[in-house]
Each structure stands twice: as structure tokens, then as C-alpha cells.
Amino acid sequence: MGGSAQQYPRGRRRRPQCARLGVARMTYEKILYRIEEDVAVIRLNDPAKLNAVSGEMGLELLDAIQRGAREARAILFGAEGRGFCSGADLTGSGIDVTDPARDVGKRLDGIFNPIIYQMRAAEVPIVTAIRGPAAGVGCAFALAGDLIVAGE
């Protein structure tokens, strides 16, 4: 191959271009994100709703997983409060749960499926740390990790 691209072993990469250039990052309000000893720690952070995943949280989570896969050697994915995730947050979602013609599939395709896809496609290992309920999409997040650690 004629390219001069340098190969990096799994999990050992240069700092991402946006970090080197000082490009603004997404501001997280529904999740917590930090790098600790080459591990990206991502935590759902809406314990009042048992970390039910809203559209906003879903977008933040997708960004954080992509960011963690670029910046770290592994990702630890957990949650604040007494439960991991109670599923999708249907309040304020624009979905009328009483309408028999509602299309929940749009929400799955637009928000949740891309998160699961990114988790499975990440080139770094993802450990999901589960404590308490993991219902609906929360169960899918838990199972999408490479290693699941669960507690009461």
C-alpha cells in the first residue's frame, strides 16, 4: 500500500483532531463523561427518572460513545442513582402513547439503534456496569457491552 498512514494498535491512538485543534464539543446535561487513566467513563445522569432515555440523552450518549472510542483505550458505561435505566422516556417525546397508529419504530431507528450500533462497532472494549433495573432500551444497552458487570 502506497499510503503513509501510521497504524495504531487497538486502543492506542493519537488524540483526535478536534482535541488537537480546540474544536468545541457537545455539552452534556443528561450524562456524565470523563477520561480516567485511559478509560472513558460514561454515566447516565437522570436518576429522578431512573435514567429513562430521552431524545436529548440519546444524542448525548451517542456522541459520548463515539468520543470515548476515539479518546480512550476502553469505555466504562454505567449510571447514577438506584437504577441503570428504566427504558425510553416517552414524556415530551412527541409520541402519543394512546394513539394506536403511533410509530415507535421511528424512535428506535432514529435514536436507540444508532447507539447500539456504535457500541457494537467500537474498536475499544465496552464494560457495562449495571446496578438496579435495566428495562427496555436499558436492557439493550446493558447487553451491547463486551463485558457486563451487574450488582443489586
Average pLDDT, the chain: 84
Closest to 70 in 3D by CA, of 40, 33, 113:
40
Distance CA 18, CA 107 (A): 29
Q: In the CATH scheme, what is the code of domain 26-151?
A: 3.90.226.10
Question: What number of other Cβ atoms are within 10 A of residue 17's Cβ?
Answer: 9
**What's the pTM?**
0.79
Which alpha helices (H) appear in the chain, and where do they start and end? 17-21, 55-71, 104-107, 113-121, 137-144
The values of phi and psi at residue 78, to 5°, are -140, -155
Return the ∠ at Cα 69 (arms to 22 and 38), rounded to 5°: 80
Read off the pLDDT of residues 107-143 as tens digits, 9 standing for 90 and up: 667 889 999 999 999 999 999 999 999 999 999 999 9
pLDDT in tens, 2-32: 444 444 444 444 444 444 445 568 899 999 9
- Please tell me the distance from the alpha carbon of residue 84 to that of residue 141, in angstroms, as a whole number: 10
- pLDDT, one tens digit per residue, over 29-49 is 999 999 999 999 999 999 999
